[in-house]
Amino acid sequence: MNLKLTKSFIHTSTTKYIIFFDFDETYFPHDCTDELLRNLNELEDYLQFLVLDQSIKIVWVTGSDLSQIAHKMKRANMSYSPHVIASNLGTELYNVSEKGELLLNEDWEHRLKNVYFSSRAVKELENELSHVYNIKLVEQTQFGQKGYKWNYYYFEESKTKSQYDLKIIRHLAKLNELGMNISKCNPKAGDPENAYDIDFIPLNMGKKEIVEFMIRYYQVSLSNTIAFGDSGNDLEMLKTVQHGYLLENATEEAKRFHDQITDSHYSLGILEVLNKLFPHSK
């Protein structure tokens, strides 16, 4: 991968813990106010210390692609990259060297090459939804579609109709052997109001599967796994680890389905949890 990021957190020879972060509106605050960026800088410094003190690996699991991530890191003037980036909802997995070089995870790439995913099947499903069920999906073309991830917006007209429509979308995706993610859009992250993200990916791919893979990859005990998120598409990831938290700034939709919620928002919420889990690492 030609794109290069900032240097990563220190690489330790062993791994005792893994911390998984959603990126947008969890690790990276879109408002980028001076206060939020000061808090993010404090979090980065603490994570660098924790990585060495507790043999931790840092993993970002995000729907964003690498170019978006790099742009946001520059905007926030971040000091460190994580050890691993799972981008495009985990359909791409990169190890990050201490110099910030991106290296494809070959084990994950091998797994991807053996899964079924057809962009033609996605387009046929989109047409069927439109012409048979009068369900309109709006392609998210601002960043282009990716090989293993096609993303759309579904705009809500009413609660009743959206519940019915989303059930049909899920049913047709299953019939077409497509994996998918549906979550309420977060306008704070630049998404439109009253809309849902609809992402089509291969079956058995996504944030949950990335977490399970990384736990095996680093041979870490489940009891030593931690995750943070802010929206509906993070819930399975949070339920897969031992310590899964929504931040205080999470969407109301997500908060209805998960009871581990921090008292503080963004980096302060993350620091709040980590200080409790590692009370002697200060």
Catalytic positions, written as ranges: 22
Q: Name residues whose C-beta falls within 8 Å of residue 62's C-beta, 6 or more positions apart in sequence.
A: 22, 23, 24, 69, 85, 86, 87, 89
> How distant, in Å, are the alpha carbons of 118, 130, 195, 220 from that of 182?
19, 18, 10, 29
**Residue 179: strand, helix, or coil:** strand
d(CA 249, CA 269): 9
Measure the CA–CA gap between 153 and 95, rounded to whole angstroms.
Answer: 30
Residue 79 to residue 51: CA distance in whole angstroms: 15
For tokens 């700034």, the residue is: 249
The sign of the CA dihedral 139, 140, 142, 143 is negative
- Rounded CA separation 95/102 (Å): 6
